[in-house]
A = this chain, B = another copy of it.
Amino acid sequence: MKAVGIIVEYNPFHNGHLHHAKQARQESGADLVIAVMSGQFLQRGEPAFADKWARTQMALDAGIDLVIELPYVYATAQASDFAKGGIALLDAIGCSSFCFGSEQGEINPFLNSRHLLTEHWAEYQHLIHEAVQTGISYPKALNNAYLSLTGNRPGFADLTQPNNILGFHYLEAAQNLSSAMDPLTIQRIGANFHDSIQAGMPIASATGIREAFFKGDSIEQLSAYMPEGSIASLKKTEKEYGKFGSWEKFYPLLRFTVLREGPHRLKQYAEVTEGIENLIYQSAKTEDSFESFISLIKSKRFTRTRIQRMLTHIYTGFTWQQLRSFEGPEYIRLLGMSRTGRNYLNHKKKNTTLPLVSRAADLNNSMGKLDIHATVMYLQGMGSTNLKKEFTTPPIYWG
**Could you list which residues of chain A lie within 8 angstroms of chain B, going by C-beta atoms?**
252-253, 255-257, 259-262, 265, 285-286, 288, 315-317, 373, 376-377, 380, 385, 387-388
Q: Out of B253, B265, B315, which one reaches A317, CB within 8 Å?
A: B265
Given contacts A259-B387, A260-B316, 6 further A-B contacts (CB under 8 A): A256-B380, A259-B373, A259-B380, A261-B317, A262-B317, A262-B373
Give the shortest distance, in Å, between A114 (CB) and chain B (any CB).
40
Per assembly, the copies of the chain total 2
Give the shortest distance, in Å, between A387 (CB) and chain B (any CB).
7
**Is chain A's binding surface mostly helix, strand, loop or mixed?**
helix
Cβ-closest chain B residue relative to A262:
B317
**Given known contacts A285-B387, A317-B265, is B259 in contact with A257 (CB within 8 Å)?**
no
In the assembled complex, 21 residue pairs joining A and B whose CB atoms fall closer than 8 Å, in A order, are A252-B380, A253-B256, A255-B380, A256-B256, A256-B257, A256-B377, A256-B380, A259-B373, A259-B376, A259-B377, A259-B380, A259-B387, A260-B317, A260-B377, A261-B317, A262-B317, A262-B373, A285-B376, A285-B387, A286-B388, A288-B385
Given the complex of chains A and B, what is the CA–CA distance between A316 and B265 in angstroms? Answer: 13
Given the complex of chains A and B, what is the CA–CA distance between A252 and B286 in angstroms? Answer: 22
Chain B residues with CB under 8 Å of A373's CB are: 259, 262
Give the shortest distance, in Å, between A298 (CB) and chain B (any CB).
22
When the two chains form their complex, are residues A260 and B259 in contact, meaning their CB atoms are under 8 A apart?
A: no
Give the shortest distance, in Å, between A24 (CB) and chain B (any CB).
38
Chain B residues with CB under 8 Å of A317's CB are: 260-262, 265
Given the complex of chains A and B, what is the CA–CA distance between A376 and B261 in angstroms? Answer: 12
Cβ-closest chain B residue relative to A381:
B256
Given the complex of chains A and B, what is the CA–CA distance between A338 and B265 in angstroms? Answer: 41
Cβ-closest chain B residue relative to A314:
B260
Chain B residues with CB under 8 Å of A388's CB are: 286
Identify the interface centre among A253, A260, A286, A315: most chain B CB within 10 Å of its CB. Answer: A260
Chain B residues with CB under 8 Å of A316's CB are: 260
Given the complex of chains A and B, what is the CA–CA distance between A133 and B308 in angstroms? Answer: 50
Chain B residues with CB under 8 Å of A387's CB are: 259, 285
Given the complex of chains A and B, what is the CA–CA distance between A387 and B281 in angstroms? Answer: 13
Given the complex of chains A and B, what is the CA–CA distance between A385 and B252 in angstroms? Answer: 9
Give the shortest distance, in Å, between A370 (CB) and chain B (any CB).
10
Chain B residues with CB under 8 Å of A315's CB are: 260
Given the complex of chains A and B, what is the CA–CA distance between A265 and B373 in angstroms? Answer: 15
